[in-house]
Chains A and B, each alone.
Chain A
Amino acid sequence: AQSVTQLDSHVSVSEGTPVLLRCNYSSSYSPSLFWYVQHPNKGLQLLLKYTSAATLVKGINGFEAEFKKSETSFHLTKPSAHMSDAAEYFCVVSDQSDYKLSFGAGTTVTVRA
């Protein structure tokens, strides 16, 4: 069985400061890991994915995430937050055997001017 725990339900940052969204996973297989973003009244957009290649993954809009197997973590970071980063972020795991995704509960990011 696979599961994801997002450690923060809500993160608030000031514009121009770093963003850190924490995610821990559990998987019986070599997992694929994803971060998706959902802006208000929009669908889900893929930010980045890890599929057993480089452990530091760069995504769109300046986001990156580091896969740490020893810590079973896949934290998402961005050096400098922008107002447009205000959204809901989901950490997602797939065990690649049946292509099903397991979603975390989500982290709401607010950006203060």
Chain B
Amino acid sequence: SAVISQKPSRDICQRGTSLTIQCQVDSQVTMMFWYRQQPGQSLTLIATANQGSEATYESGFVIDKFPISRPNLTFSTLTVSNMSPEDSSIYLCSVDPAGETQYFGPGTRLLVL
């Protein structure tokens, strides 16, 4: 398993601004993922962020809106750019240490006004 922390845990932001979410893991992992959970909805994969390569985005998500950094094997950031109220969601990171099970962080609860 893995212990994952996210910062901030929650935030309230104004439309048009950007927020960077941090994800820290207690061990080195190659595979890291970012998800969005809109209010009352299930989880949707935003992108896969493997160290040493560019992030791979899912259909409907673009790098200009959700830039991701993966500087090392224990850390990643997701930026939500030029926010609108529709970006209000929970953003979660996950890791897959052994290529068989994903473990999730506690999430960042974002409200955009």
Which residues of A pack against B, CB within 8 Å? Answer: 32, 34, 36, 41-46, 49, 51, 90, 96, 99-101, 103-106
Cα A103 to Cα B96 with chains together (Å):
16
Q: Which residue of B lies closest to A51 (CB)?
A: B100
Known A-B contacts: A42-B106, A100-B33. Give 19 more (CB < 8 A). A32-B100, A36-B104, A43-B4, A43-B92, A43-B104, A43-B105, A43-B106, A44-B43, A44-B92, A46-B103, A90-B42, A90-B43, A96-B100, A99-B96, A100-B45, A101-B102, A103-B43, A103-B44, A106-B42
Question: In the bound complex, do residue A46 and residue B101 qualify as a contact, i.e. CB atoms below 8 Å apart?
Answer: yes
Q: Which residues of B contact A49 (CB under 8 A)?
A: 100-101
Q: Which residues of B contact A34 (CB under 8 A)?
A: 101
Which residues 41-61 in B have Cβ within 8 Å of A in the complex? 41-45, 48
Question: In the bound complex, do residue B42 and residue A43 qualify as a contact, i.e. CB atoms below 8 Å apart?
Answer: no
Shortest Cβ distance from A25 into chain B, in angstroms? Answer: 14
- Of B4, B42, B45, B103, which is in contact with the most chain A CB atoms at under 10 Å from its CB? B42
- Of A36, A51, A101, which is in contact with the most chain B CB atoms at under 10 Å from its CB? A101
Cα A96 to Cα B107 with chains together (Å):
24
Q: Which residues of A contact B45 (CB under 8 A)?
A: 100-101
Asked whether B31 is an interface residue with its Cβ less than 8 Å from the other chain, the reply is yes
- Of B33, B44, B102, B107, which is in contact with the most chain A CB atoms at under 10 Å from its CB? B102
Instruction: Report which of A32, A46, A103 forms a contact with B42, defined as CB distance below 8 A.
Output: A103
